Structure 1
Amino acid sequence: MSGIFRIGTVGLRLDDVAEIMTEGREIALSRDAQAAVKRS
């Protein structure tokens, strides 16, 4: 049974990591967009 709980915990952590990575990408894209606007 402990294996199931471990998998569940890891699954939640992976979801959190995916959310953080998505947010990071959005921030990076907004920074790139701002830089592009400044250049033009």
Structure 2
Amino acid sequence: MAEGARVRTLTTMAGGDRKAYEKREPVFATFSRTVAYMGPSG
């Protein structure tokens, strides 16, 4: 996984509060080529 993060070949999927996701999406993008919001919890 460390190598994938270094070369940004990872995919990150996150859910829950949309505003929380939007605040953290730039961080996810530092190690993931694809970042996707999957919707609210539940």
TM-score for the superposition, normalised by structure 2:
0.25
Highest CA radius of gyration, 1 or 2?
1
| Greater percentage in helix | 1
Tell me which of the two structures has the higher relative contact order, counting C-alpha pairs closer than 8 angstroms and 6 or more residues apart: 2
Higher strand share: 2
TM-score normalised by structure 1 residue count: 0.25
